[in-house]
């Protein structure tokens, strides 16, 4: 197994990033990337020597100070001042997995040779990545417009031996960790501070992390929904391929196909039914889960484009001999995609909670609240409350952030994406979806017990045997928090042990 990933211009796929993370690969610059970085840097140095006119972000101030020219002898101080002054994030710390993705994506963006970064600067970011020296970054502070300025400033601070990092499970001063490795602080050259701070790597890292998690939860929603369908004595006819080929949305077809596969060989699904229809939360899983799948594909394409792109400013084009100040740092494509992801994933939670409600309602021969002696035992009454509470919270989180904007930098930056807020909201929402699905699994596994001696499909029965090792059948009331937490751990372990496909 190759334990190294070479940074190059080869298109990055979601599956590639997943492999890098799962296999804990080190990253190394390819010869192609080294050549592009060095060529761009040499061009920029020559341009500064031979040209006296101001070039935005290279020998000028920033934002509304773009018309203030800076002398050549102050260019390093200009870049360091930029990093320090913009490192004003606040709030909770960004999860370490996302910080590591930010490092990776920043290296990828700088490697295309349109940013003017020094080779040693890019290499130090790689050193941080490979040695798990993770800058401490905060969730609040980015407007998602001039790049993720505040978060990326915190990402860059340790390059100049400032700020803090997480290393070996402890929060340390960056300078101390640099000394431990024998790394000298980077002397930032012209344009480098802006190359580091402009960019969408905060939003992109959140998006990639959440996409990988969302694909897995989408798979689990189909699987757990299939268990619920069998436990509720549901019908298989709405999942017949004929139904979906006359309304051929890709996700709808895929969901129906999965449910049929999960329930193949089930005694429960094939036995005679007294009812002719199921509630929508069961019958319309292909349509609802499928629409979420189609959204995931759209969001995936947006982020695939973004992580294979140059998103800082200005952009340097060596062959064309041009340095152009544009707006590739603006996060609007990501803000819209993240909002769309929020809405689509929240619907998996909405429909899951409705299945939970049906299962505990004492319908179709199931005991009220899925427990013997209801009254003496409250049984699964309150887990449904918990799921309903989370669903309501998700409706608030799913409110689009991208419809908002606010003027900054004395009016120079007069439209912003709010994509960073969408990203952190989406993180909370997707975590909530896993919790709702865990509660559904807890309920469905309990309900299916009351269908004995009939059995579900071989794949579901095998899964439930493994689950029962971790979470026992509930005979009478107990602390349900523990059962939900154990179910969450079971789902996490299952995802790690089974590399679910991104389709």
CATH of the domain at 125: 1.10.275.10
Same domain, 266 and 143: no
Domain count, the chain: 2
502 assigned to some structural domain = no
Same domain, 41 and 173: yes
Same domain, 215 and 192: no
Q: Which domain holds residue 412?
A: 206-319+326-497
Rounded to an integer, the average pLDDT of 216-241 is 97
Place 57 in a pLDDT band, splitting at 50, 70 and 90: low
Give the SS3 label for residue 315.
strand
Whole-number Å distance between alpha carbons of 432 and 429: 5
Domain boundary, last residue among 147, 172, 199: 199
Give the catalytic positions in this structure: 56
194 assigned to some structural domain = yes
Same domain, 132 and 111: yes
Q: Where are the alpha helices (DSSP H) in 284-380?
A: 285-307, 332-359
489 assigned to some structural domain = yes
Whole-number Å distance between alpha carbons of 59 and 21: 38
Measured distance between the N- and C-terminal CA atoms of the chain, rounded to whole angstroms: 24
Same domain, 176 and 224: no
Tokens of 480: 């349900």
CA 13 distance to own-chain centroid: 14
The answer to whether residues 175 and 162 touch, using CB atoms and an 8 Å cutoff, is: yes
Same domain, 57 and 176: yes
How would you classify the pairing of strands 26-29 and 4-7? Answer: parallel
- 398, burial (CB in 10 Å: exposed 0-12, middle 13-18, buried 19+): buried
Is a pLDDT exceeding 80 seen at residue 71?
Answer: no
The pTM assigned to this predicted structure is 0.94
Same domain, 177 and 228: no
The tens digit of pLDDT for each residue in 317-339 reads 999 999 998 999 999 999 999 99
Whole-number Å distance between alpha carbons of 437 and 220: 8
CA-nearest of 199, 193, 234 to 56 is 193
The tens digit of pLDDT for each residue in 83-137 reads 999 999 999 999 999 999 999 999 999 999 999 999 999 999 999 999 999 999 9
Same domain, 117 and 217: no
CA–CA–CA angle 151, 153, 154 (5° rounding): 65
The answer to whether residues 267 and 236 touch, using CB atoms and an 8 Å cutoff, is: no
Domain boundary, last residue among 172, 199, 226: 199
The CATH number given to whatever domain includes residue 280 is: 1.20.200.10
Same domain, 284 and 376: yes
Domain boundary, last residue among 173, 199, 225: 199
Query: DSSP string covering 89-115, please?
Result: -EEEEPPHHHHHHHHHHHHHHHTTSSS
- 25, burial (CB in 10 Å: exposed 0-12, middle 13-18, buried 19+): middle
Whole-number Å distance between alpha carbons of 195 and 386: 45
Same domain, 312 and 389: yes
Same domain, 219 and 143: no
For the ranges 23-32, 55-64, 109-118, 469-478, which has the lowest average pLDDT?
Answer: 55-64
Longest dimension (CA), the chain: 87
171 assigned to some structural domain = yes
Same domain, 338 and 412: yes
Place 139 in a pLDDT band, splitting at 50, 70 and 90: very high
CA-nearest of 285, 199, 167, 299 to 235 is 285
225 assigned to some structural domain = yes
């Amino acid at each position: 197994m190759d334990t190294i990933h070479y940074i190059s211009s080869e298109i990055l796929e979601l599956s590639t990033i997943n492999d890098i993370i799962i296999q804990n690969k080190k990253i190394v610059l390819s010869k192609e990337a080294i050549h592009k970085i060095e060529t761009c840097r040499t061009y920029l140095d020559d341009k500064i020597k031979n040209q006296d006119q101001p070039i935005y972000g290279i020998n000028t101030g920033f934002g509304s100070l773009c018309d203030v020219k800076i002398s050549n002898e102050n260019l390093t101080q200009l870049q360091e001042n930029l990093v320090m002054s913009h490192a004003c994030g606040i709030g909770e710390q960004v999860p370490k997995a996302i910080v590591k993705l930010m490092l990776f994506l920043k290296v990828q963006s700088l490697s295309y040779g349109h940013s003017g970064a020094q080779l040693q600067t890019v290499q130090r970011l790689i050193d941080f990545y490979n040695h798990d020296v993770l800058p401490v970054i905060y969730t609040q502070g980015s407007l998602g417009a001039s790049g993720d300025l505040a978060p990326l400033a915190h990402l860059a601070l340790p390059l100049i031996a400032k700020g803090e990092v997480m290393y070996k499970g402890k929060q340390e001063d960056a300078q101390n960790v640099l000394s431990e490795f024998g790394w000298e602080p980077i002397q930032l050259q012209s344009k480098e501070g802006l190359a580091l701070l402009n960019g969408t790597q905060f939003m992109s890292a959140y998006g990639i992390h959440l996409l990988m998690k969302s694909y897995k939860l989408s798979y689990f929603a189909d699987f757990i929904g299939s268990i619920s369908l069998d436990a509720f004595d549901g019908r298989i006819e709405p999942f017949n391929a004929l139904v979906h080929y006359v309304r051929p949305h890709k996700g709808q077809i895929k969901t129906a196909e999965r449910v049929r596969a999960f329930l193949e060989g089930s005694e429960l699904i094939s036995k005679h039914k007294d009812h002719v229809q199921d509630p929508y939360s069961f019958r319309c899983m292909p349509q609802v889960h499928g629409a979420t799948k189609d959204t995931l594909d759209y969001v995936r394409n947006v982020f695939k484009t973004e992580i294979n792109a140059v998103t800082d400013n200005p952009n340097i084009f060596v062959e064309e001999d041009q340095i152009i100040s544009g707006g590739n740092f603006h996060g609007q494509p990501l803000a819209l995609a993240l909002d769309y992801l929020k809405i689509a994933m929240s619907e998996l939670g909405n429909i899951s909670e409705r299945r939970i409600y049906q299962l505990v309602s004492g319908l179709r021969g199931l005991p009220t609240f899925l427990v013997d002696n209801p009254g003496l035992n409250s049984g699964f009454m309150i887990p449904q409350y918990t799921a309903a509470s989370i669903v309501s919270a998700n409706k608030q989180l799913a409110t689009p952030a991208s419809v908002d904007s606010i003027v900054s930098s004395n009016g120079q930056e007069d439209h912003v994406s709010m994509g960073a807020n969408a990203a952190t909201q989406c993180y909370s929402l997707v975590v909530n979806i896993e919790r709702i699905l865990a509660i559904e699994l807890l309920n469905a596994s309990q309900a299916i017990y009351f269908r004995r001696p009939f059995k579900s499909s071989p794949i579901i029965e095998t899964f439930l045997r493994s689950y029962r090792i971790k979470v026992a059948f509930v005979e009478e009331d107990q602390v349900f928090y523990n059962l939900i937490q154990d179910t969450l751990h079971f789902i996490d372990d299952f995802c790690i042990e089974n590399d679910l496909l991104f389709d």
